[in-house]
Amino acid sequence: MTGTPHVERSRDGLPGENLTALPAEPGVYLLLLRSDLRAERAYIAVYGVTEEFSVEYRVINVLEATKTGVVLSLQHLHGIGRSSWLQMENNIRGTSSLFADNLTKAYGMELYDEQGMPIGYLGIEKTQENVFAEQDIQLLRETAEVVSAAIVKPLKQFKE
């Protein structure tokens, strides 16, 4: 990635109406989200479908944005089932809400395609604040919509 992506902002500092002005690269969205929320990291787990014995969603890719850029990460989690991924995320979020101050705070949500099928998970971790403000969660939701659209096209091509 070269250059700084342009994002229109509204008065409150959140992305404006023109979210489609963002480049269609999920990594760019992660960098912007991490920067906007002053987070330690933002990440996307992308699901793929296996049909060996029954239809099962598995993590096929994990992109992570940190202060140093966007990388493929968590290689040891590739292939983990969707239910295991979600359980791990719930455990992390539950643990982080029990303790105060120095422990990382995590928040995330699942991503869906137009038919409502799960395609991934968007998460963020912060250490500076104890809670996520409503505007943080709203920005995460808006980013989730845009990232879902950016992920759907390559997944459709992968299935064909």
Task: Pick the closest to residue 30 from 70, 58, 60 (CA basis).
Answer: 70
* Distance in angstroms (rounded) separating the CA atoms of residues 44 and 67: 16
Contact criterion met (CB below 8 Å) for 112 and 119: yes
Specify the pLDDT at position 105.
Answer: 78
pLDDT at 54: 60
* pLDDT for position 2: 36
Instruction: Determine the Cα–Cα distance for residues 94 and 98; give it in Å rounded to an integer.
Output: 7
Report all structural domains of the chain as residue ranges with CATH numbers, in order of start: 24-159 (3.30.450)
Which of the residues in the chain have pLDDT under 70? 1-24, 50-55, 74-76, 94-104, 128-131, 153-160
Token pair recorded at residue 9: 């902002």
